[in-house]
Homo-oligomer: A and B are copies of this chain.
Amino acid sequence: MTGPTLSEPAAAETGTALDRYRLLIDLEDRPGIVESVAGFLGRRGGNILDLDSHSTGEPPRFYMRAEFGVAAGSLDEEEFKREFAREIAPDLGVDCWELWPVARRKRVCVLVSKHGHCLTELLTRWHQGELPCDIDLVVSNHPDMATEAERFGVEYLHVPVEKGHKPEAEAKILERIGGGRYDLHVLARYMQILSPEFLAGAGAPIINIHHSLLPAFIGANPYSRARDRGVKIIGATAHYVTEDLDAGPIIEQDIVRVTHRLGVDEMVQAGRDIERTVLSRAVRWHLEDRVAVHGNSSLVFA
């Protein structure tokens, strides 16, 4: 099922028939990058509408996100990639780049366990046209959220994870979602640690929401631990999943103030609001190609 499109405002404003693309590049920093790339685009009739770049410190690496427009129908994607690979990449040592048409919606699969607030938030935003993607599958190790997925007309795949049989469950999930069938997987409070094999087979980035302001309260029950510690601020963290638990590159974090008046249940509820906000933001940024990974951290061109 495909949600409605939220047209990008700039496109609406220009009033001309433009195809818009995003070009993302990262490479070892050296002089002349911007000139080369801008020249390459210019020779194909591309006009840069938005350009953001950053040169990191040690090691020096250059990241660039350009959004450009060309006359509608004038860009042949395969040819562009071939020529970029020949003309630009070797010269600059670009080993990592991507071209993405703004109009192409990413395919997203959501995984959830029993707590549905993040799932509902994603499905609601998608349904209201606020997340430019296609969501056609929710995977869960529990049956609880089946009716919620159904409410939005999305298929629900229930794969129980029996004790001692996790590899089989993971294999079953991968069979359905792995190998590049999706552009993004979102763990919307999916409470299972994923094996290295699963990560390797997923074939797409995985975003997780952790219910604390990492690196504080890594692991289980962050809210009770936060309350025991008497913190005045709690938060949530959206990050890419890596083999190290709760340690992958952080995409977004946000917080909410808490007081002595809140019991654990109320802190959990306050935390839920932050979790769904932070996860939505991280997913949207990823969908708009705004996130670049640099070592174990991220750059967000937002």
Those of A55-80 within 8 Å (CB) of chain B = 55-58, 60
Question: Cβ of A2 < 8 Å from any Cβ of B?
Answer: no
Q: Report the minimum CB–CB distance from A155 to chain B (whole Å).
A: 17
**What bracket does the count of chain A residues touching chain B fall in?**
35 or more
Task: Enumerate A280-302 residues with CB–CB distance to B below 8 Å.
Answer: 294-300
What chain B residues lie within 8 Å of A195 (beta carbons)?
Answer: none
Residue A117 lies at the interface, judged by CB distance under 8 Å to chain B: yes
A12 to chain B, nearest CB (A): 7
A265 CA to B294 CA in the complex, in Å?
19
* Residue in B7, B130, B298 whose beta carbon sits within 8 Å of that of A230 in the complex: B298
A233: contacting residue among B39, B56, B235, B264, CB under 8 A: B235
A54 to B294, CA, bound (A): 24
The interface stretch among A44-52, A156-164, A171-179, A186-194 is: A44-52
Whether A23 sits at the interface, judged by CB under 8 Å, is no
For the residues of A in contact with B, the DSSP-based class is mixed
Contact bitstring A217-239, B, C-beta under 8 A = 1, else 0? 10000000001111111010000
Please report the C-alpha to C-alpha distance between residue A151 and residue B41 in the assembled complex, in whole angstroms: 48
| Interface residue A1 (Cβ < 8 Å from any Cβ of B) | no
Interface check A91, CB cutoff 8 A: no
Q: Indicate whether A48 sits within 8 Å of B57 (C-beta atoms), given known contacts A35-B42, A38-B34.
A: no
Q: Mark A248-280, 1 if CB is under 8 A from B, else 0.
A: 011111110001111111100100010001000
Which stretch from A102-110, A135-143, A208-216 is at the chain B interface?
A: A208-216
Cα separation A300 to B39 with both chains bound (whole Å): 27
Contact in complex: A297, B230 (CB < 8 Å): yes
In the bound complex, how far is the Cα of B299 from the Cα of A227, in angstroms? 12
Please give me the residue from chain B that is nearest to A269 by CB atom: B130
The answer to the question of A90 belonging to the interface, with a C-beta cut-off of 8 Å to chain B, is no
Candidates B60, B231, B263; contact of A250 at CB < 8 Å: B231
- Taking CB atoms, residues of chain B closer than 8 Å to A277 are 273
| Cβ-closest chain B residue relative to A30 | B47
A116 on the B face (CB < 8 A): yes
A32 vs B117: C-alpha distance when bound (angstroms): 41
List 25 A–B pairs whose Cβ atoms lie within 8 Å, in order of A's numbering.
Answer: A7-B265, A9-B262, A12-B263, A12-B265, A13-B58, A31-B45, A31-B46, A31-B47, A34-B34, A35-B41, A52-B52, A120-B128, A213-B216, A215-B231, A216-B216, A228-B296, A230-B295, A231-B250, A232-B251, A232-B252, A233-B235, A233-B253, A259-B300, A260-B297, A273-B277
Instruction: Name 16 extra pairs, CB < 8 A, besides A31-B47, A32-B47, A232-B250.
Output: A9-B266, A10-B55, A13-B57, A34-B48, A35-B41, A38-B39, A39-B39, A50-B53, A214-B229, A227-B297, A230-B249, A233-B235, A233-B254, A255-B255, A259-B300, A260-B299
